[in-house]
Structure 1
Amino acid sequence: MSTWEVALVREQGIEFGVVVVQDHVLNNPNERESLVSLWASELGRPIVLMGGRHHKTYGRKDIVAWLSGVHPSRLPWRKLTLN
């Protein structure tokens, strides 16, 4: 089992999730695509990955653009566990 920091957001009629990952994951296309698919399947909504240290984002362009104007501390974070 692994525990992740996840924010479930509803904004402008779109529900999506933001999942915190280690920064190096965002530089690895296979790893980031695998995590996006895993979490989208798990949560049933689009997913954006966010680097834990530098807050760089990866995912749907419209969601990434919206997140660029929001400080991460304003997101509704919770811990979720995957089996």
Structure 2
Amino acid sequence: MKLYMTPGSCSTGIHILLEELDKPFEAYIVNLPAGDQYKADYVALNPKSTIPMLVRDDGSTLTEFQAIAWWLARTHPKAKL
């Protein structure tokens, strides 16, 4: 999986959840002050231009903290998130 995040933002919470699950993922830093969220390659993945964004193993994307956290909890019930 790939997590697009900005350190110090709410996306750090998703990073922590992924670490807790001990699942392999790659973290990509989106520099919000520089406007990276509006670059064409990011907008192609996430038209909302928001963080966090999780690209799942099947290539589909999830955006919004609540949706990502809910999906992680539902797909990993033994972790009791």
The normalised TM-score by structure 1 is 0.29
Larger Rg: 2
The structure carrying a bigger helix percent of its residues is 2
The structure carrying a bigger strand percent of its residues is 1
The normalised TM-score by structure 2 is 0.29
Higher relative contact order by CA 8 Å / sep ≥ 6: 1 or 2? 1
